[in-house]
Structure 1
Amino acid sequence: AKELFESFDLAPVLQISHIAIPQIVCRLLNLPISIFEHGEIEKILNQNEEWLKRLAFVNTVGDIDEILPLVPSEIKTALLEIKELAQAVKYKNLRIVPLYYSKMRYYDKLFFRFLDGNAVLSGGGNYEIEGIKSSGFGVYTDALIENLDQKERV
């Protein structure tokens, strides 16, 4: 997807998340997953956990390095997986969003979205079905065409 966008001279934001992090937070703090499904950040920030408040504002690899000593051990592996992917993709317009929860429930590990404004141009991630580990992604062609059309008009 990255190469596709570069071929059109687009630089959408690449958002990287890990589905396990919101799930682990819910288990640790006895919270419903609906808080993450609905993006109710105020309920997340109202928890009396400094590490969770700090986790909500993680955006970069450097932020992950700073927060690793503070988070519960159950979350560290997922954060390190995000860090490893973020470093490997070498993409400048990158945002790490550890508390984002995708409604695409088949993703069970890392997942990503390419965003331009409010439009999702592409998304994908890792999943396992019947013991077979896979990765996949899709490009939302309608959103991409609309984005290109708007840029052409400017």
Structure 2
Amino acid sequence: MCCASGKVKLPEIKTPPEPLNGLLIGTDPDSNLFLKSIRKFNSCFQMTSFGATEIIKNNSANGQQFNSTFKIKGQVYHRVGSLLPMHNEPHKFLQIYFMGCEDSESALVNRVDARCSYNNLNSPFARRIVGDLDALLNEHNNC
């Protein structure tokens, strides 16, 4: 039943390039921070913001609220926003990708600042991880 009785062959998943692989498997010194805050780091590189007309909140047995994974009702949408930031506002989401993929130190600092400030990643360790991942993505994707 699975994979059409062996007719469907999926390629092996390739090992991610460094530094991502080291962060994921625990060999990088900042792995603990990365894995503990992986959703924030993922959000640093998103191009849109996910939304829905109604997000359903659940209550646990002791009455505390928690959000389940994508339990929504109504219309699902992505907030893209303007391609350029509003006056005196920082770049966010897709706007960061329009800052250019220059390799200059100031361009990298600007991209890291934009990604980290919006996601409350202010430690030097978090900034290093975001900078390393930015470089990785620029190396493996054409601008």
**TM-score band (shorter)?**
under 0.3
Higher strand share: 1
- Structure with larger RCO (C-alpha < 8 A, sep 6+): 1
Task: State the TM-score, normalizing by the size of structure 1.
Answer: 0.24
Task: State the TM-score, normalizing by the size of structure 2.
Answer: 0.25
